[in-house]
Chains A and B, each alone.
Chain A
Amino acid sequence: MTRATALLLRAAPPALIVVAALVLPGYLLPNPEAAALVGEGEAGPTLWPTMLLWLVGLCAAFWLVRVVWAGLRAPPPEAAPAAAGRPVYNRRLAWAGVAMTFAYGYAIEMMGFAVATLLFLAAWCVLGGIRRAVVLVPVAAIGTVVLLYVFVALAQMPLDRGRGVFTAATTGLYQAIGIY
């Protein structure tokens, strides 16, 4: 990585925050005319968020200046030494995990909590390196049933049952395990 790329990567987050602080005031109220309802001399609904946007912008600008200043004065980056003995950190696995949580959220709405949870428990275990069916199947199946008993039967939470065939499948499952 060159010095310029490293500096750019470090400066990007504060720069983005500064830009956001400049742009966001335009999105504060859906109907800016509504602010006219506020009497003269009164603190309106925009005062507090506008003040915070200023503070966010100032802090981010200060951070940006410091990053750029330090980046320009720093010596050229050297290749990082190999981390001998340290556990390997798998960043791709982490991002796959993030994606999987979002997929689970989507699946709950589509397939319902029961089916989505069963699939998610199994999929997450596979992602974590568990491949044996004798572990995967009981963890996912028993885990889902226990969670359903706790949240649907005991806590009576209105968890999603999914759409289309999944609604019928979830209801059938609830009847099969004695929740209904």
Chain B
Amino acid sequence: MSDQPILEVKEVTKTFGGILALNRVSFHVNEGEILGIIGPNGSGKTTLINCITAFIKMTSGKVLFRGKDISGKPAHKIADMGVTRTFQIMRPYYSLPAYKNLVIPLYSPRAKRTGGWRGGGKLGDRNTVGIDILEEIGFERDSFVPYKMASTLPTGYLKRLELARCLALKPEIILCDEVFSGLSMSEIASMVPLIERLQMDGIALVMIEHRLRELFRVARRIMVLNFGEKLIEGIPEEVMADEKVKEAYFGSAEEIEEDMSHA
């Protein structure tokens, strides 16, 4: 059982009209592993997460979660199985205080089923459970931050709130869409241990990132996407040394020379 990957993506293809956004992308995530996905802008990283979690329909391909085919299921069913995601552009409930934001995921069928959150579940008070989760994710419990309206929170807290929404569901795997982007160096520095702790709790993570140095601290396996195609997969050092990856990020050597001659 343990050698079976928790998430297996097989030849996922997505076309928007005539544009090939994802071309037969395949990869897998092992139990409790952190997989980093990197690639230049527009390479299809977010589209890949959207396809896996059914927020957009994939054109063809298969997604297996613990060996079960989840492609074609609606988004809320997939989240219900424990495959959760964060959004790159944060999607909190702006009109509610931060801790009330967590009442909604805690009300979901999955949270009711998995219960377990210290007095949570069927008869528990979701407000207290919500504040507990916020504390775990780095909101200062005794400050007024958890009680502030989500619309007044800074980006750093909203990114945490995104993760907290996933945690409220007791996820088996979290697909993180750029949790480090838009954060200051010190905020990222405090996020990294958080990610490490999630991994120690046995949650598998897929992380889309542009902040490579921080990503390489937590992820030991990296996949590179370019123009919707998988370029390479491997350990960070190996991947960054690859010629194709350099070309995708910086353009090919000939192109650079050409640009230089124009300048």
Whether chains A and B associate is no
